[in-house]
Chain A
Amino acid sequence: ELKVEQNPLFLSMQEGKNYTIYCNYSTTSDRLYWYRQDPGKSLESLFVLLSNGAVKQEGRLMASLDTKARLSTLHITAAVHDLSATYFCAWGNDYKLSFGAGTTVTVRA
């Protein structure tokens, strides 16, 4: 049975500090995706990681993929209030994506 596990599920961040969200998956894949969801809104694609060792960065967010460890991380640098949202990782299997439960991030002053 495929499992996609994110941790933590809730993350309270202090502005200006760095944090990491972890995504573990149980079955080999070379495709991993990160999405952001704001309250009441749909999902917005952040990163697509298509190979082992892939690293992508956009602003204060950086995502990486280690297929051997079956682990992806989303690193947040110097958190700001605008980053408050729920972040999902998703594992790719043929056509389908399987999602983790999401990490709800709150950034406080």
Chain B
Amino acid sequence: DVKVTQSSRYLVKRTGEKVFLECVQDMDHENMFWYRQDPGLGLRLIYFSYDVKMKEKGDIPEGYSVSREKKERFSLILESASTNQTSMYLCASSSQFTGFEAFFGQGTRLTVV
């Protein structure tokens, strides 16, 4: 089974803090993604990576950055957390060899106060 693991289920951070969300997958997938999910808006793509050290902006990259130093790990960084970044964050991975079907982690619910 594909396993995508996010480091935290729940996080509470203060405005202005630098926040790191970590994601690890164990299926050697080349593609990894960070989405945020908000009620009524579905999932919106923040950043994705199709190879180690490669990254591309998604639809809503402002206020975020990412790091992919190893194939299995993809980190999302909130440079200076703001209250409008309170959301559910979902990490996913996929491979061209399985039709780009995305497999999701359990999600991190981030609250910025």
Contacts and interface: CB of A to CB of B under 8 A. Distances in A.
A4 B42 CA distance: 10
Interface of B: 31, 33, 35, 40-45, 48, 50, 58, 90, 92, 94, 96, 99-107
Given A43-B90, A48-B99, A96 B45 contact: yes
A25 interface: no
Contact of B104 (A42, A98, A101, A102): A42
A74 interface: no
Given A42-B90, A96-B45, A50 B40 contact: no
Interface string A82-109: 0000001010100111111110000000
Given A42-B106, A88-B43, A95 B100 contact: yes
B45 A48 contact: no
B106 A41 contact: yes
A31 interface: yes
Contacts of B40: 9, 101
Nearest to A98: B45
